Chain A
């Protein structure tokens, strides 16, 4: 591998990093882990640079690596049943027992976003309840305003499927949050 290729890789990675972060965050539902996952995927991508065919879509290729890295993390996380961060928080709260996070805790974060309110918490939970691919489509569309061709390339799904996921995600979220919106208006 030449130096030029590595530098080009770093540049392309830099250009796409925020979208890759969103895919990781969407899959694991955890802001804190998203950056670590993309960094791990970046290193994996660098090691597998020989597999990347020039002229093909770089973002699509690296997105798949991020996606599989995130799914691998998720699998290990599920094996642990509850994340270590939550364990720690719960140990603090209960001084012994390990329980589920409190209902008003945004489990996606471990990091509280300033100004976050109860409606936001419910939105976070409703987003968590979406199917992983649907959640990724929704966030790529809403956060990055990507068109469906880009989303389909990043997630390796047909454009029509990506659009359908976004529309259904929005509809599911509205259904899930209709009452919350009235209560917390």
Chain B
């Protein structure tokens, strides 16, 4: 099929973009219908747009303001505090509570009445192999976070607990965070070095723990250590026969 009139392309673009009105729109529509080429182009464009919508539509349960919860420092009951019980504070608190209630209701409704996108299958891989892949790739963190509050918020968002690192002895340094999976697709990994040796700590919810093999691996010459605290599980992989970094994770709020 050949393009009959390349000069028509601009009008066609305007038509599919919804930019034409009235008589001009009708004239172009008729011209498209009378051409096999432009008809097929229109059909193709609609198919592409539909696919783009299904692939790139935002999740229905998107709630970005959740990430601000720990940062906003909102007093627990602002409208009950005489010092700030102005009309505007009350009004905004009511608006925010209404929004929060609506979002919560929608979240419940979505869980009850609609199917969430399928989660990809997670197939466990020995943590020593994940470690070796990461080291083989240059041991580069995905994200270097030097702000305690953002660091804590990241874990809160991913694992439900605000975590930060207590001061570690000399020679032990955090390199950054990564998303190496390991325990689940939701687990968060922290890369660190201890006396120049690479260490990875995988952090996940206890429910996600598939109990990877711990202890020494002859094959990799690496140790896998396991630690439970704060309702989370920590797996540390390193060449060391004892944990060097995982014990320094602490609850952020309690540490302040």
A: residues with CB less than 8 A from B are: 3-4, 6-11, 13-14, 17-18, 20-22, 25-26, 31, 34-36, 38-40, 42-43, 46, 73, 76-77, 79-85, 87-88, 91-92, 95-96, 98, 106, 108-116, 119-120, 123-124, 126-127, 138-139, 141-143, 163, 166-167, 170-171, 173-174, 177-178, 181
Contact = CB atoms under 8 A, between A and B. Distances in A.
A114 B141 CA distance: 31
Nearest to B178: A84
A88 B54 contact: no
Contacts of A111: 117-120
A91 B125 contact: yes
B84 A3 contact: yes
A149 to B, nearest CB: 13
B211 interface: no
A42 B72 contact: no
Contacts, number: 190
B48 A173 contact: yes
A4 B142 contact: no
A11 B74 CA distance: 14
Given A10-B96, A91-B125, A17 B54 contact: no
Nearest to B125: A91
A22 B56 contact: yes
A18 B64 CA distance: 9
B140 interface: yes
Contact of B64 (A6, A38, A87, A110): A38
Given A10-B72, A111-B120, A167-B17, A84 B180 contact: yes
Interface in B96-144: 96, 99, 115, 117-120, 123, 125, 129-130, 133-134, 136-138, 140, 142-143
Given A10-B68, A17-B64, A76-B142, A81 B41 contact: no
A76 to B, nearest CB: 6
A76 B179 CA distance: 13
B48 A46 contact: no
Best-surrounded residue of B48, B52, B136, B189 (most CB of chain A within 10 A): B48
Interface stretch (B87-95, B221-229, B241-249): B87-95
16 contacts: A4-B92, A14-B64, A17-B63, A17-B65, A18-B62, A42-B68, A43-B153, A76-B142, A87-B133, A96-B129, A106-B55, A108-B56, A142-B53, A167-B13, A167-B17, A181-B47
A123 B92 CA distance: 43
Interface string B45-88: 10111011111111100111111100110110010000010001
| 6 closest cross-chain pairs (CB), A and B | A39-B67, A123-B51, A167-B13, A88-B181, A18-B58, A21-B58
Contact of B68 (A13, A85, A178): A13
A34 to B, nearest CB: 8
Contacts of A112: 117-118, 120
Given A91-B133, A92-B123, A177-B48, A46 B71 contact: yes
Interface in B149-184: 150, 153, 157, 178-182
A143 B56 contact: yes
Given A22-B56, A40-B150, A98-B137, A3 B74 contact: yes
A142 B48 CA distance: 10
A170 B51 CA distance: 13
Contacts of A39: 64, 66-67, 153, 157
A88 B137 contact: no
A43 to B, nearest CB: 6
Contact of B130 (A36, A73, A88, A108): A88
A116 B84 contact: no
A114 B143 contact: no
Given A10-B72, A17-B63, 20 more contacts: A11-B95, A22-B56, A22-B58, A31-B59, A43-B71, A76-B142, A84-B142, A87-B133, A87-B180, A88-B182, A91-B125, A92-B125, A98-B136, A106-B55, A110-B185, A111-B120, A142-B52, A167-B14, A170-B16, A171-B13
